[in-house]
Structure 1
């Protein structure tokens, strides 16, 4: 019984260390960009983007490449149709597309994706 408890304690402590080995990077200022709305009118989106980074040692590399990542996110959003911008499912698709692009770019630049998740923590559209 004592050995089982010790094994469970060791397993849970190693999981806690692994789960806490993430840091977050937020793009500052918020991303603001246009998209083409109905009848060729321009709409805009303002969003807050957070990156969940694997390992605190990778934060510096992500910060270094932040302008490249920001540009990629702006380009993806700027190409989206209004119906996708305005729908929850569309936003989730855009978020996944941005996450894949960020991971692709970081892999090209550093050899590793470095980012576990990309999250839109605030989304305002007009």
Structure 2
């Protein structure tokens, strides 16, 4: 009987500890949200000679730092799309075609979007930029 009472008391104590710590742990987790730049980004880029242009089609997803900022990002969608299109349009063919160049472009877009959002809203808002489809033709 004493062992049963002891085990019940320990179980109740452990349950109480778990209940009291679970919400704190849940609050520490990031509350990311995702949104796409729709429709896909389709634009030209500079080919090997000034007479030849290539085109790129990219599906871009934005990781928003907090789901509460999703509406802010949606409000600034024209600025975000225009920035991504402009950066792609300035890229030379060798950068568009290479994996390292693609990563450089992604990071340039991320930095530019964070800068614009910081200027417009006071917060970076955009946590990351993800290319989910990447097609090009020269």
TM-score w.r.t. length of structure 1? 0.87
1:22 maps to: 32
Q: Aligned pair in 2 of structure 1 residues 35, 20: CA closer, same or farther (>3 Å)?
A: same
User: Number of matched residues?
Assistant: 122
2:101 maps to: 90
Query: CA–CA distance in 1 between the matches of 2:24 and 2:91?
Result: 42
Q: Give the drift of 1:19.
A: 3.8
Q: Give the drift of 1:54.
A: 1.6
Q: Give the drift of 1:55.
A: 1.6
1:69 maps to: 80
Gaps of 5+ in 1: none
1:78 maps to: 89
Report SS of the residue matched to 1:29: strand
Gaps of 5+ in 2: 1-12
Detail structure 1 runs of 4+ shifted over 2 Å in the superposition.
13-20
TM-score w.r.t. length of structure 2? 0.79
